[in-house]
Structure 1
Amino acid sequence: MLKQIAFGLFLLAIPFQNYGQDSPNVIIIFVDDLGYGDLGAFGHPTINTPNIDKLAYDGVKLTQFYSTSPVCSPSRAALLTGKYPIKTGIYGKRGVFFPDSDKGLSSEEMTISSFLKDSGYQTACIGKWHLGHLPEYLPNSHGFDYYFGIPYSNDLSPATSDWVGVTDFPPTPLMENFEIIEREPDQRWLTKRYTEKSIEFIEKNKDKKFFLYLAHTFPHVPLFTSPKFENKSPRGLYGDVVEELDWSVGEVMKTLHRLGIKDNTLVIFTSDNGPWLTQRLNSGDPGIFRNGKGTLWEGGVRVPGIIHFPKVLKPKTVNNKFYSTLDVLPSIISLVDPERSLPQDLDGSNFLDELNDEKTVHEKVLYYYHQDQLFAIRRGPLKAHFRSHDSIYGGDRNYKEYDPLLLFNIEQDPGEKFPLENLDDNIIKEFKSLFAKQVKNVVPTQSKIDSKINDNQNEDL
């Protein structure tokens, strides 16, 4: 027994950069509009999420994990590229890509998928893409061998939305690679179908290195769940939907265990942004955090974060440092190709070496953008708002500017309720200097989200 314990401690002490030749499989489970407070492991009292809770219990629970944007398309671009969306053009007044968009994420951008494909991995994207639906922007043009899913949000067709303008859009397409295989699929079965396709991919590649990007459509509205999960949760339909997502996570993890590859698979679970609070009972719960989706208050960008990697990470770990989705690509590069220098244009860093060591000095700055405008900066425990708004997408509802700035100690006041007073001049100068340098050094690429196709092209989508 002592030898087993000693060997286990030895494994836990292995730095990620010395992981060895046996590169791990990688799975990223990216759900849509899930609030920080929607999981049992993060405090929800009635939504039952035993599989996700177990993932957190057996891995590392990140209490201060951030999406890089409070809306869908920019947040997905940041996750996959490791760059702020203003660098890739995935920002704009429209907020996200629509069926009449004629641009997307450039295939020249290095992504997690293109890097891993070049590193010998089998790659699949299953679920929501939302980074451009024309062929040159689809997952297969970004290093994915296989794609199955909906290329944008599930509320962008006349069958699912009565928004002004949406009634002119075509039926929602379900795609396999470049082909539309169904129009207006029955969304009650999407979570189940995504899960089945994911398991097929894992089983097919169990003896190879693989990367699975499972980007669930839900709990984005409109909400749908299969009959098995209907009326099961005290939280109502929203709870039913989240509990089916939990089932999906459980099925993926059971498959890894059955195939004997769980220990050698890095699994990351998180959400693209906070909950869409204007949807009322059909939206999630930001927990103790202020506001939600579309805003740069904590509730819009702080999301559940879980990392599961039994071969290296200590289980039952709660990590209270702050990280973001920008750190995922640099961490995967350092894990898979430790001799490779990280590209200089990445905005994140490798966080994996720190996860077993709470004592590691953690110097990090995170910049919060609304479209191409810098709104806030976090450094250490302090978060400075230079501007704020409470809008959902591109509007300026309750827009405010702060002079000199609105400052919170996020670790003492995570709900952003009590602005710090009598600010030290040095702190003000420091944040203003960070602001000025970022604005000077990071020049926005032209927006791709605000570019639209003509009506004739739209008919063929």
Structure 2
Amino acid sequence: MKTKFMLSTLLAFPALSHAQTNFIIILTDDQGYQDIGCYGSPLIETPNLDKMAEEGLRLTNFYVSASVSSASRAGLLTGQLNTRNGVKGVGWPDSKGLPTDKITIANALKTKGYATGCFGKWHLGDLDGYLPTDRGFDYYYGIPYSNDMYIGYTHKFSPNCVFTEGYNLDKALQDQQLVKRTKNKAQLKKELNYASPLFENKEVIEYPCDQATTTYRYFNKAMEFIGKNKNQPFFVYLTPSMPHVPLFVSPQFKGKSKRGLYGDAVEEIDWNVGRLLDFLEKEGLSENTMVIFTSDNGPWLGMKENGGSALPLRDGKFSAYEGGVRTPCIIKWKNHIPAGKVSDHIIASIDIFPTLLELAQMDKSKYDLDGITLTKFISNPDNVEPRDRYLYVKDGKIVGIRQNDWIYLPQTGLRVTPKGNFEQELFNIRMDIGQKSNLFKKETKKAQEMEQLLQQQSH
């Protein structure tokens, strides 16, 4: 059943003047809410992202559709909640991913003549028919899932594949046979020691991938793609493998950050964002290119010093609390988005698809979307409120709702009563950003209102 959204404001947008706006989405992996200087990181220095925020719009209530990678990416690329897009959790090698009947942003923009490229982590299926070039992208370069996984036994090697770390084709094929006969994922990760395949389009071109250079290479390939396609509209989906564990950085950044290896990885991403923005400016593309920077979900707190921080939010990756699903988001579009703006309006990753469609002057009514358009909001963030509510989804099920400052979580799965039922939780996020005080028993009337609202939205 389709999830219904009751929007606080129905917006009618005027005709837009830029039929050929370019779009770049930079989506990092497991980067926490606090892990950027302008979001309050005390030890990680991100001058380029901070400058991007100074020249654009910084969102403080930006939500991804899930607190794990595959599901979050599916929400962004389809504009649908994970109750409907067919991806509920995390994909593994040799698996299907996003159902083939789902339309991605890349699929849609290609019909308008956009060149489409994906660079980095995909994580929406690595079997034939599910890779980026099967899902609307003209070109793909990257590791097709998390960098702590292993090669799939179905993957095909390019005739020109580069083998590293003493590997040759025979040894690589032995790894694939081990994967085929071994069902224990933890054992495979240990035995293969994070030997990841680097893909170009549908073939492995490097094995094991030199992960210390991936961040730099992903950005380089993206800029090469832009350079080749700058005379037509383009959509670039740039998804660094970092700062997901295992952490890797180039020698230039190793030991540079006061936040250890995790900070090194984030600071390397920041430096490359600066390179990309400078490249757009040099090529005369800044005024016609919208750049969005965000993370797929909250930090992997179990990794301790190798994980990030969501402070002052509660919890992190895997969780329905704010630290799991609220991530940093910065949007820059020179001379179109007011500079230096900070907004606490409720915005979601599922809103990106319809927004890009509208900016490309496409008919969004042809697409089955849960998100809403942000066109008026990004041009006037002080006076336009796109939505007053948002649904929380975990494992493909609705587990809570936010309306304005109130968050109701009747089944977080994190707290269970002695009778085995989920503890119902109610928070006022403006008064209690860390979700430390459960007001469910104290604010009974508000709890009932939120329960009724949740029931309405779930049918």
Could you tell me the TM-score, scaled by structure 1's length? Answer: 0.85
Residue of structure 2 equivalent to 1:207: 231
Cα 1:201–1:397, aligned 2, differ >3 Å: closer, same or farther?
Answer: farther
Aligned match for 1:90, one of 87, 90, 94: 87
Aligned-residue offset at 1:420? 2.3
Aligned match for 2:138, one of 100, 121, 145: 145
Distance, in Å, in 2 between the alignment partners of 1:20 and 1:134 is: 40
Residue of structure 1 equivalent to 2:300: 276
Residue of structure 2 equivalent to 1:346: 369
> Matched residue of 2:252: which SS?
helix
Distance, in Å, in 2 between the alignment partners of 1:228 and 1:46 is: 18
1:23 maps to 2:16: no
Distance, in Å, in 2 between the alignment partners of 1:265 and 1:293 is: 31
Letter in 2 for 1:75: S
Aligned-residue offset at 1:357? 3.7
Aligned-residue offset at 1:380? 1.2
Letter in 2 for 1:157: Y
- Tell me, yes or no, if the aligned pair for 2:87 and 2:396 is still in contact at 8 Å: no
Letter in 2 for 1:79: L
1:176 maps to 2:176: no
- Tell me, yes or no, if the aligned pair for 1:390 and 1:397 is still in contact at 8 Å: no
- Tell me, yes or no, if the aligned pair for 2:408 and 2:447 is still in contact at 8 Å: no
Aligned match for 1:99, one of 73, 88, 93: 93
Point out the more displaced range, 125-134 or 19-28. 19-28
Residue of structure 2 equivalent to 1:114: 107
Aligned match for 1:407, one of 405, 421, 426: 426
Residue of structure 1 equivalent to 2:435: 416
Aligned-residue offset at 1:100? 3.8
Residue of structure 2 equivalent to 1:4: none
Cα deviation code 1:258-277 (max 9, x no counterpart): 00111110000000000000
Letter in 2 for 1:78: G
Letter in 2 for 1:29: I
- Tell me, yes or no, if the aligned pair for 1:291 and 1:298 is still in contact at 8 Å: yes
Letter in 2 for 1:125: C
Uncovered stretches (5+) of structure 1, i.e. residues with no partner = 1-14, 442-461
Aligned-residue offset at 1:425? 5.2
Uncovered stretches (5+) of structure 2, i.e. residues with no partner = 1-11, 152-164, 166-183
**Once superposed, what is the RMSD of the aligned Cα atoms?**
2.6
- Tell me, yes or no, if the aligned pair for 2:346 and 2:387 is still in contact at 8 Å: no
Residue of structure 1 equivalent to 2:335: 311
Residue of structure 2 equivalent to 1:155: 148
> Matched residue of 2:439: which SS?
coil
Aligned-residue offset at 1:390? 4.4
Superposition misfits of 4+ residues, deviation over 6 angstroms: 396-400
Distance, in Å, in 2 between the alignment partners of 1:335 and 1:400 is: 49
Point out the more displaced range, 357-366 or 182-191. 357-366
> Matched residue of 1:419: which SS?
coil
1:245 maps to 2:238: no
Residue of structure 1 equivalent to 2:44: 47
Residue of structure 1 equivalent to 2:118: 125
Cα 1:372–1:195, aligned 2, differ >3 Å: closer, same or farther?
Answer: closer
- Tell me, yes or no, if the aligned pair for 1:77 and 1:85 is still in contact at 8 Å: yes
> Matched residue of 1:175: which SS?
strand
Letter in 1 for 2:66: S
Distance, in Å, in 2 between the alignment partners of 1:62 and 1:333 is: 21
- Tell me, yes or no, if the aligned pair for 2:19 and 2:361 is still in contact at 8 Å: no
Distance, in Å, in 2 between the alignment partners of 1:89 and 1:376 is: 19
- Tell me, yes or no, if the aligned pair for 1:125 and 1:212 is still in contact at 8 Å: yes
Residue of structure 1 equivalent to 2:7: none
- Tell me, yes or no, if the aligned pair for 1:375 and 1:386 is still in contact at 8 Å: yes
Cα 1:264–1:138, aligned 2, differ >3 Å: closer, same or farther?
Answer: same
Distance, in Å, in 1 between the alignment partners of 2:420 and 2:255 is: 42
Distance, in Å, in 2 between the alignment partners of 1:328 and 1:420 is: 33
Aligned-residue offset at 1:433? 2.4
Distance, in Å, in 1 between the alignment partners of 2:101 and 2:445 is: 42
Distance, in Å, in 2 between the alignment partners of 1:57 and 1:382 is: 29
1:382 maps to 2:406: yes
- Tell me, yes or no, if the aligned pair for 1:264 and 1:311 is still in contact at 8 Å: no
Residue of structure 1 equivalent to 2:455: 436
